[in-house]
Amino acid sequence: MTPILYCHPDSGFSYKVALALRLLGIEFEQRQVNIRIPRDQRSQEFRDLAVHGEIPVLRIDGLVLCQSNVILDYLAVRESRLDGADLEHRLHVREWLAWEANRISLNLAHSRYGRQIGHYDPAVLAWYDRRSIADLDRLQAQLSQTAWLAGAEPTIADVACSGYLLYAIEPWADVAGFPRRLWSERWPAVDAWLERLLALPGAQSPQALFAGHEIRY
């Protein structure tokens, strides 16, 4: 059975999973969920599967998997790709997954979302921006030393940590208040890393990957 990904084109969490599936060469069906309506108004099909009421949800191998980094972990183990070469390396990859969940998935996600909806108190948005800048500085420090976050080869650590950043490829999108054109000045290693990631076989930007699908679940 073809894997089914319940997702939304504005969700970096969805994009992380979709990008991993593309990089691993796993064919999948997209079912885009309307996250602009209350959760209890979303399709019964989705609500029956999403134990937390959130996207993404991936149906694969007779399993229903929730939470993006758990799904990335499963896919890397399943395919024996985008993972570490040994136990120490695999643990290092998962350190980055834990860091991303606590940092980028909170800070950069809200920095972007706050600008999209325009309803955040300016002080709250500034708090997310300060933390987002610190996160980008951390990535810059690492990627100044290694081509990929967990070493010499791309892994799900890179997929996880790039998810929301790759939305900034579009020229209108600001992340942490910094226009994309200024990244080469402050975070050149991050900028180059994103370009390397998008150059991998199967990789697509969020806009391209989610294009052409109807939001109806």
Q: pLDDT tens across 149-162, in order?
A: 998 899 999 999 99
pLDDT value for 172: 38
Q: Are 91 and 66 in contact (CB under 8 A)?
A: no
Provide the pLDDT confidence category of residue 111 given band limits of 50, 70 and 90. Answer: confident
Q: Are 76 and 155 in contact (CB under 8 A)?
A: yes
CA–CA gap between residue 166 and residue 104 (Å, rounded): 12
pLDDT value for 168: 65
Structure tokens at 57: 């949800």
Q: Longest Cα pair distance anywhere in the chain, in angstroms?
A: 48
Q: Are 150 and 82 in contact (CB under 8 A)?
A: no
Dihedral sign (CA 160, 3, 195, 200): positive
User: Is the per-residue pLDDT at 115 higher than 90?
Assistant: no
* Per-residue CA distances from 205 to 2, 18, 101 (Å): 22, 10, 21
CA–CA gap between residue 123 and residue 100 (Å, rounded): 23
Most confident of the following: 1-5, 108-112, 132-136, 171-175: 1-5
CA–CA gap between residue 209 and residue 119 (Å, rounded): 28
156-189 pLDDT tens trace: 999 999 998 888 655 435 555 566 667 778 899 9
CA 156 to chain centre: 10
49-86 pLDDT tens trace: 999 999 999 999 999 999 999 999 999 999 999 998 89
| 143 exposure class (CB count in 10 Å sphere: 0-12, 13-18, 19+) | buried
The percent of residues in the chain predicted with pLDDT above 90, rounded, is 70
pLDDT value for 176: 55
Question: Coil, strand or helix: which one is 52?
Answer: coil
User: Is the per-residue pLDDT at 143 higher than 80?
Assistant: yes
User: Is the per-residue pLDDT at 109 higher than 60?
Assistant: yes
